[in-house]
Amino acid sequence: MKHIGTILLASLLLMPTVSALPHSESTPYSWYCKRNGEHRLPSCDPQLEFLDRHAAFYADENATEEDKVVYLTFDAGYENGNIAAILDTLRDYDAPASFFILSHLAESESGLVARMFDEGHLVCNHTASHRDMSGVKDRETFLGELSLLEETVREATGHEVARYYRPPEGRFSERNLIWAEEAGYTTVFWSFAYADWDNEKQPDCAAAKQKILDNLHNGAILLLHPTSKTNAAILPELLEELTQAGYRFGRIDEIDA
C-alpha cells in the first residue's frame, strides 16, 4: 500500500516492536497492528516500513466515505461443521469473501472448496501445512509450500488459487515477502482479528460481535476463523448491521497493493 510509511511514522512512539532483533531480510516478525479506536485505521509497527516495497497490505487505505467497504477474510485449515453455515450466510447476504486455505481442507472437503469458487469467493494461499514460514531459510522450500497448496486445490477442484498469500500465524520475514512477490503473490495481513480459533474456548456471541463492531473501520480486513461456532452464529447479525451502516463487502483483489 502506498501510505503504510505515513502510518508507520505516526505510530513510532506508540507501539511496541514486533521483533526485538535488528532488521535484516531474515529477521522474523509476528504481525501486529495497534487498534486506534474511533473507527480509525490501526497503526502498523514502524519496523515494517518494508511492507510498502513488497506488494503487502493489511487494509484498504484508499477506501472512501462514498464507498464504505469491509473485507471478510477467513483462515480455513479444516472443517468442523461451521464452514457450510458461513457460506450459507455469505450467499444470503450476497457478501463475497476471501478464504485462505490449507491443503488439508482441499483434500478432505473438496466440495466445500469448490463451492467457495462457484459462489464467487476468492480462494487464496495459506500454505500447504501451516508451518512457521519466518524460519524457512531457502526460496525453494518457501515456494514449495505455496505450490503444493496450488497443486492440491487444482487437483481437488479444477480451479486455480488466487495469488494472495497469508503467512500462517502472521509469522514472516522480509525475505518471505520478497519470495512471495517474485512468485506473483501479494501478501495479505489484517487490521482486525480476535481470539476465535480455540474450539474449546469460544468467545461469547454478544461480546464477540461487539468487539468487531467497536474496532471496525472503513477499508478493514477482518480475519475470522470459519471453524468458530461463535463466528457462524453471529455472522448473519453482523452482516445485517454492517449493511444497515452503509458498508458493502469486498474481495481483497479489489485492493491496490
- Model-level pTM? 0.91
Distance CA 198, CA 203 (A): 9
Per-residue pLDDT 10s for the chain (257 aa) are 444 444 333 333 333 445 667 889 999 999 999 988 789 999 988 889 999 999 899 999 999 999 999 999 999 999 999 999 999 999 999 999 999 999 999 999 999 999 999 999 999 999 999 999 999 999 999 999 999 999 999 999 999 999 999 999 999 999 999 999 999 999 999 999 999 999 999 999 999 999 999 999 999 999 999 999 999 999 999 999 999 999 999 999 999 86
Q: Cell numbers at residue 130, please? A: 501451516
Helix (H) or strand (E) holding 241: helix 229-244
Reported residue count of the chain is 257
The sign of the torsion formed by the CA atoms of 89, 92, 93, 96 equals: positive
142 found inside a domain = yes
Residue 18 lies in a domain: no
DSSP string, 53-88: GTTEESB-TT-BTTB-EEEEEEEES--SS-HHHHHH
Give me the pLDDT at residue 20, please. 63
Q: Phi and psi dihedrals of 175, rounded to 5?
A: -60, -40
Whether 212 is covered by a domain: the verdict is yes
Domain annotation covers residue 92:
yes
Question: DSSP E strands: which ranges in the chain?
Answer: 29-30, 33-34, 43-44, 56-57, 69-76, 98-101, 122-125, 164-165, 171-172, 186-188, 220-224, 248-250
User: Which CATH number covers residue 181?
Assistant: 3.20.20.370
For residue 172, give its domain range: 60-254
Distance of CA 205 to the CA centre of its chain: 21
d(CA 39, CA 43): 12
The β-bridge partners of 172 are 29
Examine residue 21 and state whether it is found in any structural domain, yes or no.
no
The amino acid that residue 41 corresponds to is: L
Catalytically active residues, by annotation = 75, 225
Q: Convert the pLDDT of each residue in 5-43 to its tens digit.
A: 443 333 333 334 456 678 899 999 999 999 887 899 999
Q: Smallest Cα–Cα separation from 191: which of 63, 14, 60?
A: 60
Instruction: Establish if 121 belongs to a structural domain.
Output: yes
- CA-closest candidate to residue 116, choices 84, 148, 154, 141: 84
Residue 13 belongs to some domain of the structure? no
Integer Cα distance of 126 and 99 in angstroms:
9
pLDDT of residue 35: 86
Query: For 144-158, what is each residue's pLDDT tens digit?
Result: 999 999 999 999 999
Among 45, 119, 40, which Cα is nearest to 86's? 119
Is residue 114 one of the residues assigned to a domain?
yes
Structurally, the chain folds into a number of domains equal to 1
